[in-house]
Structures are given as structure tokens and as C-alpha cells.
Amino acid sequence: MAFRKLAVAAGLTVALGMATSAQAETFKYAFQGELKGLDPYSLNETFSLGTLGNVYEGLTRRGPELEIQPALAESWEVVEPTRWRFHLRKGVKFHNGNDFTADDVVFSADRVRSQESDLKTRIGADVKVEKVDDYTVDFVLPGPNPILHYEWDTWGIMDKEWAEENDTVKVMSASDESPSYAGLHANGTGPFKITGHETGVKTTFEENKDWWDYGNKKFNIDSVELTPIGSDATRVAALLSGELDMVYPVPVQDIQRVDGNDGTRALTGPELRTIFLGMDQMRDELLYSNVKGKNPFKDPKVRMAFYQAIDMEAIKQKIMRGLATPSALMISPFQFALSDQFERFPYDPEAAKKLLVEAGYPDGFEVTMDCPNDRYVNDEAICQAVVSMLAKIGVTVDLNAQPKAKYFAKVLQSNGFDTSFYLLGWTPGSFDSWNILSNIIHCRSEEGSEAPFNLGGYCNPKVDEITAKVLVENDPDKRNEMIAEAFKIHMDEVGHIPLHQQGLAWGVADDVELAQRADNTLMFYHVNKN
């Protein structure tokens, strides 16, 4: 394998004491998880897609403020409401030297929608992709879709010839017997090439001097080394000791230490993920409660009582150490223009108690809460705080906090939504409210085809009606008004209890400048090292 030879060469260089790379700028960083593979269609997960986004480019890309910019497509227009035309950039080459053309886009569109792909949501199965000429591609939709291209920054275009030559047209799946070529090798058009990939150990990148935008490049690093470091303490220590230029995430309790240390700083900001609580409103009797014969969460007053019993300011200060933005909505203000029209209901335990009395639970009741303990920032601590806050209004919550592998196995559709009260986080992959409406707020169907992540089964046909309209409305202002209307209904009925957008925390060496994107993605072309 290529990286083996490279490792030998690199090893010998060091062994012989020759420092050949004196002026080369290598950017070394660590993330808590590992890059699972190099095939950009195998896993729909932020870190994998973001990292491979340095190698594979989409027709669009997103800038530091997550604004959509042209990338492999120079421009696009909506010819008819259901026909989008993309004009491709000319003169772009893949890392292996092949030309980028419309054939590659058509091929990638087929591959990304194939059976084994995990990114099928990028383009609907019934969208037709038509090559007009070598540098023009039309997407013909079954109905209007204003957000067709919102997720295309993470749909990397692959080289048709390369995939066919190396027999890697099929996306690798765990049920396959032999490894796929694309899972271990990469060939994109992006600013960086992968020069070595040892699964779970190290991945190395080198700048691509033939990148189409190399003339305007804003980075000065020429190679990158990614090491996964799972242990929080070790990851922070590796930054403090000066071995690494950047690590993420930094646990909130270590932010001060990273900031106080000479030569490093903590870079914090709001993330897109919204953390919220959900309640089973579907069953006639809760699975885990002492209330028999009826379901207290069917009463909006009980849900409102829960809402007002939770002191978000305390959670923000004490548990998140300031690194959280309490949220009135189920979506980050970055992703919804009318967010400022909404405000959280006030924290008011007295009002909450009164609501419980009105609902017929003067002495409260008991319920079990499901909570992950290794998925979101301080997830278990948040749940514990919620438990003690609810105790103050007389509700006894039995907390069941588990590792994410067990938690998700219990509460998701595959296990029949086995929960009464839960904490979950959600980032709309499409950067758009419709994703939240359709996945979490829409009425749920038992087999899970509709709103599979509406674990509590909140349901209002009026909201569903609006959701259907939002999907096909092409006018952005009208569309936002509709979304706001749906969110308003959901909020007034307390369909869920949104808590906050958790914060991002990266640890960065002082001599490094980079852009922290709110989707927790690091683009190498934003990195400068002095």
C-alpha cells in the first residue's frame, strides 16, 4: 500500500536525522472520534463529511458563516420551478489528473442514491439528473423544492472513470466480504489530497497545487496530520504540551485551563445542534409512570408545567459554564431568519405547580427519563439538573442515563419508541427548518415512514398541513412566515421542550488562525500557521 512505503520513507528520514521539511508547515490536529473510512457516501456524519470535504468537493460549498458559495458549479438557475440547471466549472481536475465533467456529476448522483449509500437524502430518488452538455447538468424534480442544493456542500463529486477502473462503483457496506477501494483511497478535486490513512490511527493530507482555486488560496499550510484522540484528558494535554496545533472538542470544564495556558486559547461559539426534551403524548398510558389508565403528557398543561419548572439560566451557568444558548425554538437562530420573534416561556416554578394542580396532579407523579451519557455536551448532567428541578414541583423522575449505543437502541423507532420522557439533540442536516418539521414535529406513523424521530409522538394536523406547503413554496419570505406559524403552534402546545444550542469549544495554539464554523467543521483552507 502506498502509505506503507511513505511511512518507511518518513521513518528513515527521521532515523537518519535529516530534517528535510524545515520550512514546510504541517498542521497537526486531533478530534475525539476517528475517520471511519474514505468513501464520502458511507456515513452521513458531520465529522466524516467535513473532513472528507477537504478532499472531495460538492457543486456548492459553505463559507465561514455557512453561506452557500459556488464550488464545482460556477452558477445555477431555476429554469422552471421543477428544473434546476447547474453550470459546471471548467478546467477542474481530479487528483489523479482526470477532467471533471457532467458525466461525473451524473455518476455521483446515481452513486449517492444507491442502496448502500448513507447519503440518500442528498437528492430525492425521483429526481432525474440530465446531462445537457459536458459542463451543464439539469436536475428535474417531481415538484418544486427550494432547498434542493442546501446539503450539496457535503455531497462530494467522485470521478466516474476512477470508480469504474478500480471497481468501486458500489458503496462499501459492512455486509460485504472484501474492502472497497474507495474506502481506503480518495480521489477528489479538493484543495487537499490524502497521502496516508491508517484507520483509527492517523490520516495525513497534502495540499493540492492543481486545485482550481489555488490562485485565491487563503491558507499557508502544506500538509495536515489528523490523529483521533478519544480520551479528553489526553487530547487537552496534547494541545497544552505543544504537540498539536488544534484539538476539538475541548470539554467545557477545561476551557479555562486551555485559555489560561501560555500559547493556547479556547475558541468557543454556538453550535447548530439543539438539545430538547420530549414526552410521550401518543400512548393512552405511559410505559414508565405511576399514573395508570391515562397519560399525563396528553395534557398541554402538564407539558407547560415541565417547561416552566426548568431553569435554563442555571443549566447554562452551572452545567454548561456559559457555553450554551437557551433556545425557544427547535432550530438554531443561524438557520431560521425569524428566530428573534420567539422567546422562551419564563422559568416559573410557582406557575408550574399551579398548572399541575389544574391538570389534576396536585401531588405530582412519577415518570422515568431516558438520557444518553456520552452523546451531547454534559448530557447526563443536564438530565440530572432537570430531575432535581422537576422534584421541586413535585414530579419524581427516575433517571435512566446510558451510553448512546444503548440509549438509541431503546428509544428509537426500531425498538418501538420505548420511552416516556427523553432528552435528544438534533442538527438539521439540510440547514433548514423543514428538516425539523418533517423529522421531529410532524405526526408520526407507527411504521416510521413519517417523522421517525418524533419519539414522543406530538401530533397536530394543522402543523402537518403547513409542513407540506413549506416543502414546495419557492418564495423565501412566504416560506419563512409559514415555518414561523408552524413553530408557533408547536411552541404554544409545548410539543417538545427546547433547551439550548450547545456550544462549540476548540482548543487552538496561539500561532494558528482558523475559522470556526457553527456546524463544527474544520476546513483546512481556512487554516494559517505563523
Tell which positions 145-164 bind other proteins, by CB under 8 A.
none
Binding of residue 20 to other proteins (CB under 8 A) = no
Residue among 15, 18, 19, 125 that touches other proteins (CB under 8 A) = 15
Binding of residue 37 to other proteins (CB under 8 A) = yes
Binding of residue 228 to other proteins (CB under 8 A) = yes
Binding of residue 14 to other proteins (CB under 8 A) = yes
Q: Which is nearer to other proteins, 202 or 488 (CB)?
A: 202
Binding of residue 233 to other proteins (CB under 8 A) = yes
Binding of residue 174 to other proteins (CB under 8 A) = yes
Residue among 412, 472, 489, 515 that touches other proteins (CB under 8 A) = 412
Interacting span for other proteins (CB under 8 A) from 91-99, 292-300, 405-413, 476-484: 405-413
Interacting span for other proteins (CB under 8 A) from 9-17, 286-294, 344-352, 521-529: 9-17
DSSP 8-state secondary structure symbol assigned to residue 135: T
Strands 192-198 and 202-207: antiparallel
State how far the Cα of 38 lies from the Cα of 36, in Å rounded to an integer: 7
Residue among 56, 248, 426, 431 that touches other proteins (CB under 8 A) = 426
Rounded to whole angstroms, what are the CA distances from 361 to 296, 353, 421, 493, 513?
Answer: 9, 9, 17, 19, 56
Residues 91-120 that bind other proteins (CB under 8 A): 115, 118-120
Element spanning 198, H or E: strand 192-198
* Least distance (Å) between residue 62 CB and other proteins: 18
Please name the amino acid found at residue 149: H
Residue among 34, 153, 311, 473 that touches other proteins (CB under 8 A) = 34
Q: Which is nearer to other proteins, 83 or 406 (CB)?
A: 406
Residue among 64, 403, 477, 511 that touches other proteins (CB under 8 A) = 403
State how far the Cα of 463 lies from the Cα of 383, in Å rounded to an integer: 29
* Least distance (Å) between residue 409 CB and other proteins: 3
Binding of residue 43 to other proteins (CB under 8 A) = yes
Residues 299-358 that bind other proteins (CB under 8 A): none
Q: Which is nearer to other proteins, 171 or 320 (CB)?
A: 171
Residue among 18, 447, 461, 530 that touches other proteins (CB under 8 A) = 447
Residue among 243, 285, 366, 398 that touches other proteins (CB under 8 A) = 243
State how far the Cα of 449 lies from the Cα of 496, in Å rounded to an integer: 20
* Least distance (Å) between residue 417 CB and other proteins: 11
State how far the Cα of 137 lies from the Cα of 130, in Å rounded to an integer: 6
Q: Nearest 5 degrees, angle CA 521-CA 524-CA 526?
A: 90
The dihedrals phi and psi of 179, each to the nearest 5 degrees, come to -70, 155
Q: Which is nearer to other proteins, 299 or 464 (CB)?
A: 464
Binding of residue 22 to other proteins (CB under 8 A) = no
Residue among 82, 121, 166, 528 that touches other proteins (CB under 8 A) = 121
Residue among 136, 413, 460, 528 that touches other proteins (CB under 8 A) = 413
Binding of residue 224 to other proteins (CB under 8 A) = no
Which grid coordinates are listed for 184? 481506503
Q: Which is nearer to other proteins, 119 or 186 (CB)?
A: 119
Binding of residue 2 to other proteins (CB under 8 A) = no
Q: Where are the alpha helices (DSSP H) in 76-212?
A: 102-112, 160-165, 181-184
The dihedrals phi and psi of 257, each to the nearest 5 degrees, come to -65, -45
Binding of residue 405 to other proteins (CB under 8 A) = yes
Residues 483-512 that bind other proteins (CB under 8 A): none
* Least distance (Å) between residue 3 CB and other proteins: 9
* Least distance (Å) between residue 318 CB and other proteins: 25
Sign of the CA dihedral running 316, 238, 227, 209:
positive
Q: Nearest 5 degrees, angle CA 375-CA 376-CA 380?
A: 85
Residue among 2, 21, 24, 45 that touches other proteins (CB under 8 A) = 45
Strands (E) located in 261-365? 264-279, 324-326
Binding of residue 408 to other proteins (CB under 8 A) = yes
Residues 371-400 that bind other proteins (CB under 8 A): 374
The strand order across the sheet containing 128-133 reads 73-80, 83-88, 136-140, 128-133
Spatial neighbors of 195 by CB under 8 A, at least 6 apart, are 2, 3, 6, 204, 205, 206, 223
Binding of residue 12 to other proteins (CB under 8 A) = yes
Q: Nearest 5 degrees, angle CA 308-CA 320-CA 403?
A: 90
Binding of residue 169 to other proteins (CB under 8 A) = no
Spatial neighbors of 368 by CB under 8 A, at least 6 apart, are 288, 289, 397, 398, 399, 400, 420, 421
Residue among 178, 262, 284, 461 that touches other proteins (CB under 8 A) = 178
* Least distance (Å) between residue 174 CB and other proteins: 5
Three-class secondary structure of residue 502 per DSSP: strand
HEC string for 205-219: EEECCCCCCHHHCCC
Q: Which is nearer to other proteins, 374 or 465 (CB)?
A: 374
Rounded to whole angstroms, what are the CA distances from 204 to 74, 166, 215, 381?
Answer: 29, 22, 23, 36
Binding of residue 124 to other proteins (CB under 8 A) = no
Binding of residue 448 to other proteins (CB under 8 A) = yes
Q: Nearest 5 degrees, angle CA 284-CA 288-CA 289?
A: 80
Interacting span for other proteins (CB under 8 A) from 38-46, 214-222, 335-343, 487-495: 38-46
Please name the amino acid found at residue 156: G
